Amino acid sequence: MFLPVGSVLSAESLDRVKSLENDLEFVDGKLTAGWHAREVKVNRQATAGPALRQIQRMVTDALRSHEVVRAAALPLRIVPPLLSRYAHRERYGNHVDDPVMQTHRPVRTDLSVTVFLSDPASYEGGELVIVTPAGEDAIKLPAGDAVLYPSTTLHRVEPVTRGERFVAVTWIQSLVRDAAIRDILFDLDRARREVFDREGKSRLFDLIAKCHANLLRHAAEP
């Protein structure tokens, strides 16, 4: 699944992030990279502190409460987001994310999430590029929007050539490990909502809702 999601953070939340940004302290991003990723990672990341914790809670709560994220990712656990800055010539070369993140408990990384915090007009370059069998997809979204993509994919951040790119990056362990089943559940969820909007709690809605519930019951690993 490669899924852009609009308005994960509201305008009010983005204003709050901006007000807290001045209280963040940043260090070399290589400190949080795996041994091979350090070779290609050139950025800065926020260190622990009250401002970081507040933004992490805002982003995590927003992801958990967003209807599309809940339906598509079925989040079980969400890693506290990293806040990263990319200024002139900073970048993150091709890499694959760690399969398990060590927080207070191990989290299997099924989905990676980038939440864009900068106005895309305020910087040039800095596209998130996801490598797929069909080619490469470059993503640069409005502030407050996010993109979900499989943590299994090779991806990179292109060099920033003007301004500064500011993002929150996190990882989700889903209730459903199997990506193909997650995609089916997402399609079923969209279908049942469309049917409900069109005709209410009809016989067709009940049938689709039953299929969604029973497939989730079969595949969930709480």
222 residues of the chain, pLDDT tens digit each? 789 999 999 999 999 999 999 999 999 998 887 777 788 999 999 999 999 999 999 999 999 999 999 999 999 999 999 999 999 999 999 999 999 998 889 999 999 999 999 999 999 999 999 999 899 999 999 999 999 999 999 999 999 999 999 999 999 999 999 999 999 999 999 999 999 999 999 999 999 999 999 999 999 999
Q: What is the pLDDT of residue 35?
A: 77
Is residue 157 domain-shared with residue 200, that is, in the same domain? no
Is residue 202 domain-shared with residue 134, that is, in the same domain? no
- The answer to whether 25 and 48 are in contact (CB under 8 A) is no
Its sign, for the CA torsion 25, 30, 31, 34, is positive
Phi and psi for 160 in degrees, rounded to 5?
-80, 130
Q: What is the pLDDT of residue 31?
A: 84
Is residue 111 domain-shared with residue 92, that is, in the same domain? yes
Token pair 């991003």: residue: 29
- The answer to whether 109 and 78 are in contact (CB under 8 A) is no
Token pair 């989700």: residue: 172
Q: What is the pLDDT of residue 60?
A: 98
**11's tokens:** 């305008």
pTM: predicted TM-score of the whole model, two decimal places:
0.95
| Domain CATH for 53 | 2.60.120.620
Q: Which domain holds residue 115?
A: 3-174
Q: What is the pLDDT of residue 103?
A: 85
Spell out the alpha helix ranges (H) of 22-77: 50-65, 67-73
Is residue 49 domain-shared with residue 68, that is, in the same domain? yes
Is residue 154 domain-shared with residue 210, that is, in the same domain? no
| Amino acid identity for residue 109 in this structure | T
Is residue 119 domain-shared with residue 73, that is, in the same domain? yes
Domain count, the chain: 2
Is residue 8 domain-shared with residue 114, that is, in the same domain? yes
Is residue 204 domain-shared with residue 169, that is, in the same domain? no
**204's tokens:** 């067709």
- The answer to whether 35 and 181 are in contact (CB under 8 A) is no
* Cα–Cα distance measured from residue 50 to residue 59, given in angstroms and rounded to the nearest whole number: 14
Q: What is the pLDDT of residue 201?
A: 97
Is residue 132 domain-shared with residue 201, that is, in the same domain? no
Is residue 207 domain-shared with residue 159, that is, in the same domain? no
Is residue 81 domain-shared with residue 156, that is, in the same domain? yes
Hey, which residues does 69 pair with through a beta bridge? none
